Amino acid sequence: MKKRIPYRSAILFVLIMFMYACSPYARYKVLSVFFDGVPKPGEKNAAKTAVMVAHKSESGKKTQKKTKQPKWYKHPVTEDNACETCHDISRGYALLAKPDELCLECHDDLSDAPHVHPPLEDGDCVSCHNPHGSKYEYLLVQNVPTLCYNCHDDLAANNDVHPPVAKGECLKCHNPHSSENEVLLTQAEPKLCLNCHPDIEKGSTLHSPVKHGLCTDCHEAHNSANEALLTEKENEICFQCHDVIGDKKIVHEPVRDSSCVDCHQPHSADNPTLLSATVPQLCGDCHDDVGDQPKKHEPVADGSCFDCHQPHSSNYEGLLNFSTDTLCLQCHDDVQDTKFVHEPVADGDCLSCHQAHGGKFKAFTVQTGQALCLQCHDEEILHDDTHEGIGKQACQECHNPHGGEDEYMLE
């Protein structure tokens, strides 16, 4: 009685014999079922092959035109048909080792840095690279940024997008394997940012985040709902560090309704406190009527706006540093040094008689001569016995307008 060969053993025997004895082309057909990028027998450079397309010319004769295929990148091992470098042919082309261990036999250890890309850290090289061939450079399984977006959210989906992100140039800022810098940056802040934005340090006065290289304290790296990739809306981002309003009642209009950059440069400037221009030129851009008076108050003439005003907010009208009487008395401290004080002076109502910045009359009065005094005093007083014959003579020729040692404040 003949001894039967087990069915499964027979199949295995035939398969092994096929793998060793079959022609290179037959082997190629089998392997292509299981692996991508398996080279055809004898093929050395698929990137340079061309398809000959037959077509008819205008004369009706058939001609041949070479049409280049898309470039195909091959793993050098695949290029050389050296499958045994990575595969154990005797065991059905099983890998000789773990994928990451195989890669490190030829490639440098790209994880030798403090910050490593998770796929590399996990030894998962093939999540990004095709081990045999690809139409993308570096054997990537997809183009950049599509490949990156498999794990990272679509960073181009917002109102304002950083140009490298919009162009899909992830690798312009990030190293795909590992880096000495956080988030795999190719360079540390601010050096990386300054490659494209060199002008932010051109001023002699630097904003503190710029000075300390903290670009991302104010800007998003990839995209933002706000202009200039700001992390918050204008002003709101400034208020995180600069509490210029506090509990003040009066707020300067640019601070309240507009933008801090109406007056300040956000990165650097050649003026103190990052002002866009010097004072009073900067203030004059909006308050252009202040310097138009023929006679100017000394602080106005000197361009010392901040001697009297707060630039951001105040508890006093006109953004004054103090109440009117306190502010004026800092320089005009002699007007109350009398026994009798004129009522507007006593009430601190300097502006009932004077203009703050300047005017066309002496001492910047709002009116001149008798017209100034008759704003409050009845005109009938000019016709009593005391003032008989005074005519249009100015009241100030007899009276001190601020105060005196008698009740009529006579000079």
Asked whether residue 98 is assigned to any structural domain, the reply reads yes
d(CA 101, CA 98): 5
Q: State the pTM of this model.
A: 0.72
Strand-pairing partners, residue 165, are none
Tell me how far CA of residue 303 lies from CA of 86, 212, 291, 300, in angstroms: 79, 33, 9, 5
User: How far apart are the C-alpha atoms of 201 and 204, rounded to whole Å?
Assistant: 8
Q: For the purposes of burial, counting CB atoms within 10 Å of the CB of 392, is it exposed (0-12), middle (13-18) or buried (19 or more)?
A: exposed
pLDDT of residue 369: 84
Within-domain flag for 59: no
Full residue range of the structural domain in which residue 113 is found: 70-173
Q: What is the per-residue pLDDT for 24? A: 59
Backbone angles phi, psi at 26, to 5 degrees: -65, -40
Strand ranges, E, within 263-312: 268-269, 295-296
Residue 289 inside a domain? The answer is no
Residue 135 domain-assigned (yes or no): yes
Q: CA-to-CA distance for 209 and 274, rounded, in angstroms?
A: 13
- Residue 168, domain member (yes or no): yes
Helix (H) or strand (E) holding 101: helix 99-104
Q: Which two tokens stand for residue 169?
A: 């140039």
Note whether residue 106 is domain-resident. Answer: yes
Q: Name, in order, each residue with C-beta under 8 angstroms of 259's C-beta and a sequence gap of 6 or more.
A: 234, 235
Q: Residues 6 or more apart from 193 whose CB is under 8 A from it?
A: 200, 215
Residue 335: its pLDDT value, please? 87
Number of domains into which the chain is organized: 1
Strands 313-314, 250-251: pairing kind: antiparallel
**CB neighbour class for 409 (10 Å; exposed up to 12, middle 13-18, buried from 19):** buried
Domain for residue 401, yes or no?
A: no
**What's the CA gap between 292 and 308, in Å, rounded?**
18
Dist. CA 38–CA 75, nearest whole Å: 10
Tell me how far apart the alpha carbons of residues 116 and 387 are, in angstroms, rounded to a whole number. 96
Residue-level pLDDT at 379: 83
Q: How many CB atoms lie within 10 A of CB 385?
A: 5
- Residue 345's pLDDT is what? 92
- The reply to whether 111 falls in a domain is yes
Flag residues of the chain having pLDDT under 70. Answer: 1-69
